[in-house]
Structure 1
Amino acid sequence: MIQNALPPGASLVRPKKSKTTGSIFVNDLDRDGILEAIVYYQASENNKGLTGMLWQQKGDTWKLLNEFQGEGYELDTLMFDDVTDDGSLEVIAGYSGGEKVAKGLIVYRFDGHNFNKIFDSPYTEFVVDDLNEDNKKDLSILTLERNASSSLTVLQYSQNSFQTIGATPLDSHVSGYYSVQSNWIAESKRGILLDAGIGAHSAYTQLVYFEQGNLIKAFPDKDIPLKPRPSINGDFNHDGIVEIGMDRVPTGWENEPYVSTPWITAFYRWDSQKGYTSAPLYELFMDIGSGFYFEIPVEWNKDYQLQRPKDEGVIRFIANISGETVEWKTMSEEAWVSMQPSTDWLEIGRTAKTVTALHLTEASLQYSTRFRPLSELVK
């Protein structure tokens, strides 16, 4: 029905930032038991920008309620949440006119028949959460004008409009933000993690949270711990609190060129009183090309060597105290098939063209479960 309703030559549009692959979004917006569907399309004549369509289920069929004009030529983000605390879902759409044009955020409310625009704002990134933990959703908007100004503003819906409940300036001398997310950043403390790129390679993670009703930053802009390159954050030890990832050069590789350095990612806990822990909670080695990561044993206590002899084609970890060795190699599918049957090697990773296998020894066998697909880290 949607395809038949599109103008000739028009095509459906999906959000650029979306975890789903579809372009049709179905929800019961006003919680009355009747489903609504939202789609966007781009007409063949590109000068009109995006057009949205609002559909509603009518028994065994669907009815087009109305069409509305989008506020740009690209759909950056589309999400649904109750940001007005009225029990219904609002539609939160982020529009873009291209890389050099500021993005625009629109919040729509559904009245049973049409969409009403209840909020609009320029934005660079935004987050919906409950940062001040009052059991009401808030809308955090980050804006960045490079080398001029940057800020994070937290708004909450009250008295028929969005009111500012907190704001803080940010460092505008960044290349951009490659990740903005909310999570538990410490025991019983919600926060926003702002991952920014600096210069050609460096990066940092700034934390913003509420303290006694004020929105504050964990680090002054000129005193944020730098990372040698962008790295991921996440709760990969499943304790409910996000850890901050910082890449480091393994011992013995200090003179290796940046591009060929085998980085170790160490994960630290942040504390509002003490800052980052002095030692990482855990470390991972990510074999990006082979599609998996190795969880480095904590009991090695960072006292290990990483070897990558070019003539052997393997990556090898050696624990200095115990002498335990864990090594693996990546090979073509054909080479792997030719090795079968083999009891000396265990498959631990696979891509479209390669297979990675762990050399089985008494020592390495106990660590075989520490090899996990990279997809687990980037959900």
Structure 2
Amino acid sequence: MKITGAVVSPGLTGFYFDDQKAIKLGREHDGFAYLGEPVTTGFSKVRQRGEAISVLLLLENGAVAYGDCAAVQYSGAGGRDPLFLASDFIPVLEQEIFPKLIGREVTGFRALAEEFDQLTRPDGSRYHTALRYGVTQALLDAAAKAARCTMAEVVGREYNCQLTDNQVPIFCQTGDERYDNADKIIIKRADVLPHGLINNVEEKLGQHGEKLLEYVTWLRERCQQLADDNYTPILHIDVYGTVGQAFQENLPRMADYLAQLELAASPLKLRIEGPLDQGSKPAQIQALAELRRLLEQRQINVEIVADEWCNTLEDIREFVDAKAGHMVQIKTPDLGGINNTIEAILYAKERGIGAYLGGTCNETDRSAQVCVHIGIATQPDQMLAKPGMGVDEGFMIIYNEMNRTLALLRAKGVI
């Protein structure tokens, strides 16, 4: 099946770009916006609208395959590529990438995706991760349309994955509405909650961790109040390095605090994402590996999840090999081509590290749907409900796409 043309359109994401560094420095809320000046290069405001670009590939049989270029909420932070604005990158797609796509034969996904993920610009630099993310989504869709099957089947066939009838556990995030949105998640019985967006010590964690401790206690009690004993979700909270900040990066003191959180969450399982941020990849790997060892020595059953500085496929392999955490977040836009997301999930699973098919609230419905097919094929430990921070919309998109696809695969006799 030949690609006969390519079209681009500007789009919006399900959330916003936020200047993480400015927020960590204490920028105050002004309604939904933030006061003060941004500090990360490229930002005009501390919070500004999220932008995306749709890539539509026209196939010779009249079908259209598409994917969405999108970048994470905290663009430019933790070693990531800079802010992704549609007006800056549409010309790059049209002038540099599309001429290499048009006329190509689509006989499969993997080889073509690897080729375009590795493309370099005229100056020798890599293309922005968001561009590689969207282009490879469109290529997976094109491969599925050429083969007249689902995207999950393409991934399963080309990466030797055994498709199963198992639903991937879905992780819902509350955003700053961590109480009302937690209620929504509990009522809908998502498998994992609440993320919580604990990105500031004074406002959200507490100088001694007391605010998060209170919140974890409330979550446990709320699950019991709104559901029943059969509902035992995993509590997964992203703290953006604030535990390290509050406890002066002292690992034994951090372990003491995580033990308190474990007790507050019991009998629910607890995961803490990004307990510390050491400012560089080598230091982050070393600290998370040491913290994991300390927790295991002390039989503290809190799982820690790597996020910051764990951005690319190569990064993920390094974190996994060092056992820097019990689980890695595979933040899909950060990896560029979705071929890297597939490889990362399989690499972590093969080595006994939890695989979290993540991403960002700042994606689109299309990128979320494509990720569902990757999840069905590779079976990570959990996947993020995305985009947005409103719970209902992101959960609906992931849940419905997953169940539609599984129903279709059952009807076809594939699973």
Global fold match (TM > 0.5)? no
Query: TM-score, with normalisation over the residues of structure 1?
Result: 0.23
| Greater RCO, CA 8 A, separation 6+ | 2
* Structure 1 or 2: more strand by fraction: 1
Q: TM-score scaled by structure 2?
A: 0.22
Task: State which structure, 1 or 2, has the greater radius of gyration over its C-alpha atoms.
Answer: 1
Relative to its length, the structure with more helix (as a share) is 2
